[in-house]
Structure 1
Amino acid sequence: MLFVRDTSVGKAERAAASRTRHPRRALRTLARTRGLPRLCLIAALLGVVTVSDSFLYLLLQRRIDLPAPYFPLLPVGAAAGFLLLAVPLGRIADRIGRRQVFLAGHGALLSAYLLLLAPWGGGLVAAGCVLVLLGAFYAATDGVLMAAAGPLLPPHLKASGLALVQSAQAFARFGGSLLFGAGWMYFGPHGALTVAAAGLVVALAAVATLHRGRRA
């Protein structure tokens, strides 16, 4: 914050920035940016089947019969998993490809869903695995999605483009949370999570198809 300066922006980039200063013009430019609409669609498809952490923690609390005073330990456990895995998974994404790690992160989320649906008792080991998988999901997706979007964006609209991708994901997760909450009310926690897991499988298959189409 105090010492880093971006000195790579030249006259051409500044001229382009002045031409796209108007919000509508900038949005049209981003909509025509190659690969960005596809990435927004992928983020939204996977976002709508991403169950809110709060629901997962409540499900986990019920499974292990955790007393209410210890409930804050659940998000702390997931955050610890994120803290330990964010840098290693980021380095792996730089080596083998960001989309692969991004999809693998959603595979970890699906594993957490399935583990919560599995007929295990109130084991703390299984609960710890759910929290580690949840932390791995965020470690493999939050920064990796931004790293995948960055190279697609023109330099003068990089911040706006990143915000657009995040907004697509956030709106989808908001809608998904409303749907999951409604499913919790009408089908119960187990039924709602089963539907979410099935939706995540379908979304992953659709994203894999989109990715193959892009490479072709």
Structure 2
Amino acid sequence: MYISLSDRGGKRAKPQGAETALPSGVPFRLSPVIVWLGIVSMVTDVSSESVTAILPLYVTGFLGLSTIAFGFIDGINQGASAIVRIAAGWAADRSGHPKRIALAGYGLSMVARIGFLLAGGFWAIAAIVTGDRIGKGIRTAPRDALISVSAQPEHLARSFGVHRMLDNIGAAAGPLIAFFVLLMIPNGFSTVFVVSLAFAVIGVAVLGLIVPDVRADGLPDAAEREGRRLFAFSWSHLKEPGLGKVLIAAGLLGLVTIGDGFIYLVLQARDSFAVQWFPLLFVGTNVVFLAFAVPMGRLADRVGKIPVFVGGHVALLATYLLAASPIGGLATTVGCLVLLGAFYAATDGVLAALASQLTPPGKLATGIASAQTVVALTRMIASAGFGVLWYAAGASSAMVIAGALLGCVVVAVIFILRGTSPANVVNADA
């Protein structure tokens, strides 16, 4: 299996599944494409995370809706993007211009931001969140495909880590902005929505005007056009050696991964801190994420992506158990934020890098999108289910149950992924 890696200067091919250790002597060079995509993600995350940080309070406090209602909305927030992820990945592969597909997704999310200024009820909020998340579903796989073809194969996970680091600077800044807005303007949710829209516009402008339209294949024009005519999406395209096991594992883990908002609501309910401090919980998690993103990427390139991915879910398990403990206070809260940030650093970019290495050329965005779709769908189910579980059993008991289920799934995933690695897949194909 091969992937063309063209960085606007020379072309070189490398077995896509081969894991290359860092001591190979190849120096790390960061593509400008990845930097600009990181900047786009950074300002877009300021937009999205400023809203996400206030959404639990906005829904359950300002609008007075139940945790079941929030669980439904958070489920949409987690999983609505799955509706279009594979289709968007396929469109990016077929067109050979993933930037164009990504731009459409960023644009849709920008338009959805306008709706937050007008909505005030459950169904309106649900519809707007759906539109925003569909935009995310359209843009994510094409964007990650651009990262993959622009990165050095020897430093693939590290390149994703750099992007995620830039992304999470915005993810930390967004809730921080929301915090200051609510601190200065009590119930200033509409002001947060205006700020969110402004940053979304900036992100679309940077992507459209500055990010180059890197092609995702490197095929000669004639062969490229012929390949476009012959390639039609089929679910069999996802039955690549190793990729199926990764999809199963990611799906099982997603079923026991609840939304961050619920974890923060558990902490807030236990310690009863003032609501204006609530957005800082998102800030803390994202600061840890951006601090760990590159080191986790380097670790995944060195020791393997699967061990790091599974280890990230062990950190999530520790988060659940710590949040459910009767011991409150600042230390416990900070511990939860550190563990949760480490979980994201060890799983988000690492899963995309792993999927890209297990996917053949011509189907790169589709393969990445398939992994992201499985995660989004299962996390949507998890959030909706946890909302009902909280309502029935209470916050701490629901968290303990979620932790027990996650522990069982982690053990099962270790057995499922045993013997699976990109290098082994390539050797089997050779």
* TM superposition score normalised by structure 2: 0.47
Determine which of 331, 334, 343 is the counterpart of 1:125. Answer: 331
- 1:158 equivalent in structure 2: 364
Relative distance call for 1:107 and 1:180 in structure 2 (3 A) is same
Q: How does 1:44-193 map to 2 (within 5 A)?
A: 44-121=251-328, 123-193=329-399
Q: How many residues align?
A: 211
In structure 2, what is the Cα distance between the partners aligned to 1:5 and 1:177? 36
Distance change >3 Å, CA 84–CA 197, structure 1 → 2: same
- Secondary structure in 2 matching 1:164: helix
Contact 1:64 1:127 in 2 (8 A): no
1:83 Cα offset (Å): 1.0
Q: Distance in 2 between matches of 1:75 and 1:214?
A: 34
Question: Which one has the largest radius of gyration?
Answer: 2
- Over the residues paired in the alignment, what is the CA RMSD in angstroms? 2.0
Looking at structure 1, the residues matched to 281 and 378 of structure 2 have their Cα atoms a distance apart, in angstroms, of 24
Letter in structure 1 aligned against 2:290 = L
* Distance (Å, rounded) in 2 between the aligned partners of 1:150 and 1:169: 15
Q: Note if 1:10 corresponds to 2:216.
A: no
TM norm structure 1: 0.90
Alpha carbons of structure 1 residues 58 and 28: separation in structure 2 relative to 1, 3 Å: same
Cα distance in 2 for residues equivalent to 1:127 and 1:112: 10
Distance 2:287 2:372 in 1: 23
Matching residue of 2:237: 29
Please report how far the alpha carbon of residue 192 of structure 1 lies from its aligned counterpart in structure 2 after TM superposition: 1.1
Distance (whole Å) between structure 2 residues aligned to residue 204 and residue 13 of structure 1: 44
**Residue 97 and residue 185 in structure 1: after superposition, are their counterparts in 2 closer, same or farther (change >3 A)?**
same
Unaligned runs of 5+ in 2: 1-32, 34-210, 425-430
The structure with the largest helix share of the pair is 1
Aligned counterparts of 1:77 and 1:97: Cα–Cα separation in 2: 27
User: Offset of 1:64 from its aligned partner?
Assistant: 2.3
Q: Which amino acid aligns with 1:9?
A: G
Aligned letter for 2:416?
A: L
Q: Check conservation: 2:324, 2:397, Cα contact below 8 A.
A: no
CA distance in 2, matches of 1:139, 1:119: 27
C-alpha contact (below 8 Å) 2:249/2:417 kept by paired residues: no
Which amino acid is the alignment partner of residue 211 of structure 1? L
The alpha-carbon deviation at position 179 of structure 1 amounts to 1.0
Q: 1:213 to 1:88 in 2, by over 3 A?
A: closer
Deviations 1:172-213 (A, max 9, x none): 000111111110011111121111101101110110111226
CA shift for structure 1 position 28: 2.1
Distance (Å, rounded) in 1 between the aligned partners of 2:213 and 2:302: 26
Higher relative contact order (CA 8 A, sep 6+): 1
Cα drift, residue 42 of structure 1: 0.8
Give 3-state SS (helix, strand or coil) of 1:33's partner. coil
Q: Is 1:212 equivalent to 2:421 in the alignment?
A: no
Q: Distance in 2 between matches of 1:7 and 1:44?
A: 27
| One-letter amino acid of the counterpart of residue 28, structure 1 | S
Structure 2 CA distance for partners of 1:13 and 1:142, relative to 1, 3 Å: farther
For 1:53-92, what per-residue CA distance to the aligned partner results, in whole angstroms no more than 9, with x for missing partners? 0100001112222111111111111111111111111111
Q: Give 1:6 shift.
A: 4.5
* Aligned counterparts of 1:35 and 1:18: Cα–Cα separation in 2: 27
